Structure 1
Amino acid sequence: MSIENSKADKFDFVDRALAERVEQQRFRSLQSVVPIDGVWVWKQGRKLLNFSANDYLGLSKHPVLIEAAQTYTHRYGTGATASRLVAGNYDIHHQLEEKLAAACGRESALLFSSGFQANMTILGALLNPQSCVFCDRLIHSSLIQGIRASGARFYRYAHSDLDQLERLLKKASSQSFDRLMIVTETVFSMDGDRSDVDALIRLANRYGAILYLDDAHAIGVLGKRGMGLAAFQPDVDLVVGTFGKAFGAFGAFVACSRKLRDYLINCCPGFIYTTALPPAVIGAIDAALDLIPNLDTERQHLTKQSQNLRDRLQAMGYSTLNSDTQIVPIVVGESARTLELSQALEAKDILAVAIRPPTVPEGSARIRLALSSQHQEEHLERLFEALEAYVH
């Protein structure tokens, strides 16, 4: 091959990958929207009712969060300017971590830049090639990527099949692994169902396994004082929560023991080498943390609307899997048909994005509906009318 041809061909792999995604109806592109309030957005000059955001309590537009973000910016500036171990460890970071730990009923907490970054780097710090990990088949990509990057041996048990998990744990416990770990989500981001946290705790204790739970889609919405399904559970070793969903902000944290916090500060590259979260974000999170424990009325409304949505969809013949949370999938199956439904809904001024493989398993492409406490009866009626028009 000549030098000229070599240069021309060096990105052939990109062309092949993109062509494959187009052929399989999996090509993705960025679509800009402009938020109006908790449930409406502008897209290409049209006002759409949004059923695809994770703003479960509508806090991203809450005036108290906006005011706190502005106040913190005026006092501390727009950026933290350094990593926490250098000069970016502001008093507000430490204060928020103490407040988060207390709110979750844990000894301590540590802030991270995002949920994906937290899962990737924490798992990498806790595992090594001599470790063995057991994870639910439907866990988030960030968890899988973190486990793979660690070099640990890992096994994926069938979704929520804790009998299979126990068989795997029993077998591994007689082998020469230096540590065992169970990794799963509390609320599954694409199916909207829950893990049995109490049963997972029993298995982890029985086999001496580290229990790592991603509570991203539960925190703010479920559990004691809305602090998630893993809150106030001292036998859960590490709980990761995010602020970009019910908190209406950005970033993530891990709640754990003081010993594990010290370990991560010293041994977790994603914490050590990352600039601290900016003051405006810390202010918004702090304000949300004050509000969330007092939003029981909003959570009850969200629960009621989610059940209403599931009942109506099932009556229309749609599968919502085992959803019992604010995440309600409409399983279509084929990617092309799922895209068609999403486009039909958008033509009726409904934003409901198609989720396709590899994000979900083959043959299970879906519309993932994410409800907010800001959605009212009339909003659901608009959705049902649009779905009925598509069916007929």
Structure 2
Amino acid sequence: MLASLQLALDKRKAEGLLRQRRLLDSPQAEHIVANNKPYLSFCSNDYLGLANHPTLIAAMQKAAGDSGVGSGASGLVTGHHRYHDDLEKQLAKFVNMPAALLFSAGYMANIGALGALVGRGDAIFADKLNHACLNDGGYYSLAEFNRFAHNDVVALENLLKASTARHKLIAVDAVFSMDGDIAPLAEYLALCEKYDAYLYIDDAHGFGVLGEHGQGSLNHLKLKSPRIIMMATLGKAAGVAGSFVAGESVVIDYLIQTAKSYVYSTPAPPALSATLSASVSLIEQGDDLRTHLRSLISYFKENLQCKRWQLMPSETSVQPLVVGDNLEALALSEYLQGQGILVPAIRPPTVPVGTARLRISLSAAHSLDDIKQLISAIQQAEQAL
């Protein structure tokens, strides 16, 4: 067995697919220290620059003193703290949903929610570019798992029309993590009404960034319906950790009883929830941050001129630069690293074969000079490589 594992690792390395961790020696920010070297970073999902915010640091320190550092039991025993409860109510109100339920990670939320809401005899309809945790949640649910071409409303309708499943659930990313585009959620909701289905959206990359006061993709698209269930992570724009699912009260009550990743897990420390309550307040008050972020996105898109590589048509913080070849994407990432700039090379299976890319993440914490430095380095790389 050990020999076969090593062979698999060697094969990954030869194909340019071996992943390596960097050791971070500083707080998460736009300027970091990794492997003992300073870098300008475009790797983080900290879209509003809150991960090292002094207000959140102070909130965590105080809350740890009040509540300790661990939850100590599952949420259905004695692990559900007042801080957890307050945050759930705050999040539900913020995203304009009747109720919300906290999970310790987005992966846990999607696996738990999908596994509880559908099963044998039901059907899930999933975009082919969905995040891995939506796929895994679909597979583990034991429901019939149908995939349709990216953002293809016609293909989805054909699948729904042909389905005889007892319950139908469309499960999609709201903002796609590797392409940065927004799903046609209004069209999907119309299909839900037509075919008696429900819409489960993963708003990991929209929450805090899109919509009025950062309420997310649903608010951005002006969508509201009892057929919608949403998940969002709290380790990206919110700057801390965890996730939540929001929807009708009966949905959340049902998940509390049946979502295995909630029922059989110890909740995140209460201090994290107190910190997140402060983070949600900062998000709500952060219109200036979002305005600055949008200006950086516009400047980057308008001023990056590449001939060999293609910048995808994203209007969000995720700006993918498609290179194509795995080794060339790695070489570009390594060239930028040599210039003191970190941008991750994303390769299969995270993205389709032949579409290896740099995933450039822009943050409100970046300055215009940071963006100019990145543009200059990419354009120099196109000549040097």
Q: TM-score range by the shorter chain?
A: over 0.9
The match for 1:326 is: 317
Which of residues 279, 286, 301 in structure 2 aligns to 1:288?
Answer: 279
Aligned: 1:240 with 2:228: no
Which structure would you say has the larger Rg? 1
Q: Which runs of 4+ in 1 moved over 6 A?
A: none
Equivalent residue pairs, number? 380
Aligned: 1:358 with 2:349: yes
Structure 1 position 197, deviation (Å): 1.8
Structure-2 separation of matches of 1:73 and 1:325: 34
Could you give the per-residue CA deviations for residues 130-168 of structure 1, whole angstroms, max 9, x where no partner exists? 111111110000000111112221221111111111111
Aligned: 1:89 with 2:80: yes
Aligned: 1:52 with 2:43: yes
Could you give the per-residue CA deviations for residues 329-361 of structure 1, whole angstroms, max 9, x where no partner exists? 010001000000000000000000110000000
Structure 1 position 37, deviation (Å): 6.0
Which of residues 20, 25, 34 in structure 2 aligns to 1:34?
Answer: 25
Structure-1 separation of matches of 2:188 and 2:284: 26
- Secondary structure, aligned partner of 1:213: strand
User: Is this contact kept in 1: 2:202–2:232, CA < 8 A?
Assistant: yes
Q: Equivalences for 1:40-119 in 2 at 5 Å? A: 40-119=31-110
Structure 1 position 44, deviation (Å): 2.5
The match for 1:205 is: 193
Structure 1 position 36, deviation (Å): 4.8
The match for 1:189 is: 177
Structure-2 separation of matches of 1:15 and 1:74: 46
Aligned: 1:168 with 2:159: yes
- Secondary structure, aligned partner of 1:277: coil
The match for 1:384 is: 375
User: Is this contact kept in 2: 1:69–1:279, CA < 8 A?
Assistant: no
User: Is this contact kept in 2: 1:201–1:235, CA < 8 A?
Assistant: no
Structure-2 separation of matches of 1:389 and 1:29: 25
Could you give the per-residue CA deviations for residues 259-318 of structure 1, whole angstroms, max 9, x where no partner exists? 011111111111101111102211221101111111111101111111221222245563
Structure-2 separation of matches of 1:378 and 1:390: 18
Which of residues 201, 204, 220 in structure 2 aligns to 1:216?
Answer: 204
Change over 3 Å in CA distance of 1:236–1:383 after alignment to 2:
farther
Structure-1 separation of matches of 2:60 and 2:225: 32
Could you give the per-residue CA deviations for residues 217-244 of structure 1, whole angstroms, max 9, x where no partner exists? 0000001221101246234421001100
Structure-1 separation of matches of 2:242 and 2:280: 13
User: Is this contact kept in 1: 2:325–2:355, CA < 8 A?
Assistant: yes
Aligned: 1:267 with 2:255: no
Aligned: 1:337 with 2:328: yes
Question: Letter of the aligned partner of 1:384 in structure 2?
Answer: I
Structure-2 separation of matches of 1:51 and 1:390: 16
Structure-2 separation of matches of 1:47 and 1:218: 29
TM-score, normalised via structure 1 length? 0.94
Query: Structure 2: which 5+ runs fail to align?
Result: none
Which of residues 345, 349, 371 in structure 1 aligns to 2:340?
Answer: 349
User: Is this contact kept in 1: 2:39–2:340, CA < 8 A?
Assistant: yes
Change over 3 Å in CA distance of 1:94–1:248 after alignment to 2:
same
Identical-pair percentage = 37
- Secondary structure, aligned partner of 1:38: coil
Which of residues 5, 17, 21 in structure 2 aligns to 1:14?
Answer: 5
Question: Letter of the aligned partner of 1:187 in structure 2?
Answer: V
TM-score, normalised via structure 2 length? 0.96
Which of residues 273, 277, 290 in structure 2 aligns to 1:299?
Answer: 290
User: Is this contact kept in 2: 1:230–1:236, CA < 8 A?
Assistant: no
Structure-2 separation of matches of 1:371 and 1:310: 11
| TM-align CA RMSD | 1.4
- Secondary structure, aligned partner of 1:55: coil
